[in-house]
Amino acid sequence: MLAFRRRIAIANWKMYLGAAECIRAARAIRSGAGRVASRDVDIVLCPPSPSLAPVKEALGSTRVSVGAQDVHAELSGPYTGDVSVLQLRGMVRYVIVGHSERRERYGETDELVAQKVRRVVAAGLSPIVCVGETAEERGDGDTIAVVRRQVETVLHGVSALSLARCVVAYEPRWAISQGPGRPAPQPEPGDPAEVIRLIRKIASDHAGRRYAERLRVIYGGSVDAKTCCAFVREPGVDGALVGGASTKPSEFLAIVRAIATCRS
């Protein structure tokens, strides 16, 4: 029998919103979430670090969870500006790891991402692991090889049992916007779905089908309320990691609704 996977809608607010805006958005999403079938979908808000605590407070005891946008690979030490899982524990439930902006702009390697994932899992938190190829890698026909390498490296240190707690976001790097007003091209919805099936197959080879069926794998390229349905309707796609569009509560709530209801 196949495992039931709850769908998931993740808002990555990147470095877009100030503290007051984060609180306002969290409150709006909190009050709208009940009306958009939050029972059918997990909702996660990932604000910039200084807003983690206020957003958690604004959400109160709702089902909407808080996530961090990154974490350091070490537990403690002289790492100015960084935070460790020890400091995030109790504050967040999810941590985004290996986002393409971190891989690209901060030179994060597969090994570093894998190390962070191990820390997050060991701390009892859920990693949202981002993988995906660059435009150049895609042009060279290397998408499958790149994603396979990224996923295999990350899964190496993750036990079969922990897979149920992990989320993998397939985000083709060329399909992520460069900021407001700078949209990215989008693939045909069937293309990411195919890579997402491959990711689950890799997880299955690693941990066995029974455990791999519990791993949630989502689409992480740009989506908005209009385009989301086409991606999450594809078989095997468990939700979306949303950047720019998630900063507008009504838009994000429409995306949550699409994730809850659009099925093949």
Chain residue at closest Cβ approach to ligand PGA: 243
Minimum Å gap between C-beta 136 and ligand PGA is: 19
Minimum Å gap between C-beta 195 and ligand PGA is: 15
Nearer to ligand PGA, 38 or 222 (CB): 222
**Residue 98 binds ligand PGA, judged by CB under 6 A:** no
In angstroms, rounded to a whole number, what is the distance separating the alpha carbons of residues 254 and 54? 24
Residue 171: active-site member: yes
> In this structure, what token pair is assigned to residue 174?
């060329």
> Which residue in the set 222, 225, 249, 260 belongs to the binding site for ligand PGA (CB under 6 A)?
222
> In this structure, what token pair is assigned to residue 117?
């994932």
44 neighbors 64 (Cβ within 8 angstroms): yes
Query: Please, which of residues 224-253 interact with ligand PGA by CB under 6 A?
Result: 241-245
Query: Please, which of residues 166-195 interact with ligand PGA by CB under 6 A?
Result: 171, 176-177, 184
- The DSSP call for residue 117 is H
Active-site option among 101, 108, 133, 171: 171
Q: What is the size of the binding site for ligand PGA (CB under 6 A)?
A: 12
What's the alpha-carbon Rg for the chain, to the nearest Å? 17
Residue 137: active-site member: no
**Residue 132 binds ligand PGA, judged by CB under 6 A:** no
In angstroms, rounded to a whole number, what is the distance separating the alpha carbons of residues 136 and 257? 34
Strand partners for 96: 128
For 192, the 3-state DSSP assignment is helix
**Residue 12 binds ligand PGA, judged by CB under 6 A:** yes
Helix (H) or strand (E) run with residue 219 in it: strand 216-219
> In this structure, what token pair is assigned to residue 216?
């949630």
* Contacts for 153 with CB less than 8 Å, ≥ 6 apart: 110, 111, 113, 114
In angstroms, rounded to a whole number, what is the distance separating the alpha carbons of residues 21 and 247? 9
Minimum Å gap between C-beta 169 and ligand PGA is: 7
Active-site option among 72, 99, 133, 206: 99
Minimum Å gap between C-beta 241 and ligand PGA is: 5
Nearer to ligand PGA, 12 or 126 (CB): 12
Residues in touch with ligand PGA (CB under 6 A) = 12, 171, 176-177, 184, 220, 222, 241-245
Catalytic residues: 99, 171
